[in-house]
Amino acid sequence: MRYTQLSANEIAQKVQAGELKASDMLDASLAQIRAVDGDFGSLDGQATDPETDKKVHAFISLTEEMARAQAQAVDAKVANGEDAGLLAGVPVSIKDIFALENTVTTAASRMLHNYRAPYTASAVQKLMDAGALIVGKVNLDEFTFGSSNESSAYQPASNNPWNTAHVPGGSSGGSAAAVAAEETPLSLGTDTGGSIRQPAAFCGVVGLKPSYGRISRYGLIAFASSLDCPGPLSRNVEDAALMLQVMAGADERDESSATLPVPNYLEALQQDVKGMRIGLSPDYAGIAYPNHKTGEFEIIPVQEEIKQATLDAAEQLARQGAEIIENVPMPHTRYGIPVYFVVSRIEASSNLNRMDGVKYGFTVADARDLQDLYKRTRTEGFGPQPKLRILMGAYLSAASKKVNYYQLASQVRGMIRRDFELAFEPKGAYQLDALLTPTTPTTAFKRAEVFGDSVLMQYADQMTVSVNHAGLPAITVPAGLDNKNLPIGIQFIANHFREDIVLRAAHAYEQSTLDAVWRKVRPMALQEVN
């Protein structure tokens, strides 16, 4: 087996045992990147032709020198008989929204194309302290605004390794693509409305959004501060647990980080699902799309194969002793996207105020005065998505408005949270340990198919966004391929800080499908090279 096909856990074990050198692992990862990635995203790059472009384009930049030094340090530790860490010698890619000292952190925006962070994000620091090799920064939708990667100012944006004419999802699309294309076994992403889980599902990998506050946000460029969560993308559930283990925990630099002790997530995987109560909800059967003319919600059903995969997974888990509870009402799920529009736009527009040409990154050279500097820096520095979101956020929060939309949305957000509370309530009618849902309404769409319709694009997050509103943990795991050989993902959601439960359920499902025929199929982008 090629080194690049090893899981993170296998790599770390082999490196610690002296069977594999961290520097050889790094070489293998870099060779794979050279073989499958093609041109990296850049500001003067162009979108490519979906018909002919077979490359993945996950990366924006490599941090090869840094990774080389980290690999040497790991190898030296192993030679000295020291503990080299849980991620010893594991190549990791980082969504380019995390600060990493001595490198450029772009947020895939012209606005930050030259921004060198003077510090390193806590999550990234913890990865490095655990022996990981940070090989580079991967592409994303500009400032994490999108569900397809296409809104990146760094083109070519990432493609889906399963079919390069399709999007990898977003905004952590570069992360999902890098993991699926075996460039790095792990990638660090962020999830505000679904940005880890949706691309993970589109690319056939595992993606975990932890509880709000479980992983520090320090050094993560903010999108919507009350929703943002860093989290792992990996090729199997054990690796997601491993990466979470390393990154979770309180951080004095982020006062919203949780001070709860970090359990042993890897140990949780040893347990089976006997007696676990897993719910299915009719409110996750389709997209509820408000018809703006009639004011009514129209239900667009989830793609049939995804619905079937979710039901099959429930059956599979029932065979292992889980109890399946059907018809759990989650009636406020349909308000998830409208509420997200309000909350995320207002918070984004406020967070982006700091990008003014004075403090960070891009600035126009010949401003006449301060107003001119702000105006032209923001006009030239931001792409269409940040502009749209700033405008909408400013409109929704305008002081002259009679309606306080943020407050209204926060109230509905409370109702969404309440749905989950009732479902998980230990003495309630359902007493669920976990809810099982599709991760996305469809499999990966074609490039250019949805791009340009910001509302439709946003509905790619219908199955994921309520979890962000409630601050809960959720995981997506691969659950098959559709008739076009595009990956299907299913999602497990649990109560606050019960990452152990979603990991356990996902692991049990994964282990019971290891011999499934669909697991033998390789992503298209890998078929030609290896």
Please give the Cα distance from 344 to 352 (Å, whole number).
12
Residue 213 Cα to chain centre, angstroms: 16
CB crowding 390-423: b at 16 or more within 10 Å, else e = bebbeebbeeeeeeebbeebeebbeebbebbeeb
Please give the Cα distance from 200 to 260 (Å, whole number).
27
Please give the Cα distance from 8 to 234 (Å, whole number).
8
- What is the per-residue binding string for ligand GLN in 101-140, x denoting contact by CB under 6 A? ----------------------------------------
Choices 46-54, 190-198, 363-371, 440-448 (CB under 6 A): range interacting with ligand GLN: 190-198
We find the least distance from the C-beta atom of residue 465 to ligand GLN, in angstroms, to be 7
Nearest-CB residue for ligand GLN: 195
Residue (145 or 374) nearer to ligand GLN, CB: 145
We find the least distance from the C-beta atom of residue 357 to ligand GLN, in angstroms, to be 24
249: nearest Cα among 420, 83, 125: 125
Give the dihedral sign, CA 93/99/103/105: positive
We find the least distance from the C-beta atom of residue 403 to ligand GLN, in angstroms, to be 22
320 by Cβ neighbours in 10 Å (0-12 / 13-18 / 19+) ranks as: middle
Please give the Cα distance from 88 to 524 (Å, whole number).
30
194 is a contact residue toward ligand GLN (CB under 6 A): yes
- Which two tokens mark 460? 């790619």
147 is a contact residue toward ligand GLN (CB under 6 A): yes
195 is a contact residue toward ligand GLN (CB under 6 A): yes
Residue (70 or 149) nearer to ligand GLN, CB: 149
Number of residues that bind ligand GLN (CB under 6 A): 15
155 is a contact residue toward ligand GLN (CB under 6 A): no
Q: Which of 63, 93, 125, 144 binds ligand GLN (CB under 6 A)?
A: 144
- Which two tokens mark 412? 């509905």
Helix (H) or strand (E) holding 456: helix 454-458
- What is the per-residue binding string for ligand GLN in 453-472, x denoting contact by CB under 6 A? -----x--x-----------
295 by Cβ neighbours in 10 Å (0-12 / 13-18 / 19+) ranks as: exposed
146 is a contact residue toward ligand GLN (CB under 6 A): yes
Please give the Cα distance from 338 to 335 (Å, whole number).
5
Choices 192-200, 213-221, 235-243, 490-498 (CB under 6 A): range interacting with ligand GLN: 192-200
Q: Which of 40, 145, 162, 420 binds ligand GLN (CB under 6 A)?
A: 145
192 is a contact residue toward ligand GLN (CB under 6 A): yes
We find the least distance from the C-beta atom of residue 142 to ligand GLN, in angstroms, to be 10
- What is the per-residue binding string for ligand GLN in 221-250, x denoting contact by CB under 6 A? --x---------------------------
> What is the residue whose two structure tokens read 């929060």?
397
Residue (16 or 192) nearer to ligand GLN, CB: 192
We find the least distance from the C-beta atom of residue 475 to ligand GLN, in angstroms, to be 15
Contact call for residues 322 and 274 (beta carbons, < 8 A)? yes
Residue (91 or 194) nearer to ligand GLN, CB: 194
Q: Which of 149, 163, 344, 442 binds ligand GLN (CB under 6 A)?
A: 344
Give the dihedral sign, CA 380/384/390/395: positive
Q: Which positions are catalytic?
A: 95, 171, 195
Residue (48 or 149) nearer to ligand GLN, CB: 149
Q: Which of 29, 63, 103, 171 binds ligand GLN (CB under 6 A)?
A: 171
Please give the Cα distance from 40 to 55 (Å, whole number).
10
Q: What is the dihedral of CA 123, 129, 131, 133, to 10 degrees?
A: 50
We find the least distance from the C-beta atom of residue 107 to ligand GLN, in angstroms, to be 11
Residues in the site for ligand GLN, rule: CB under 6 A? 144-147, 171, 190-195, 223, 344, 458, 461
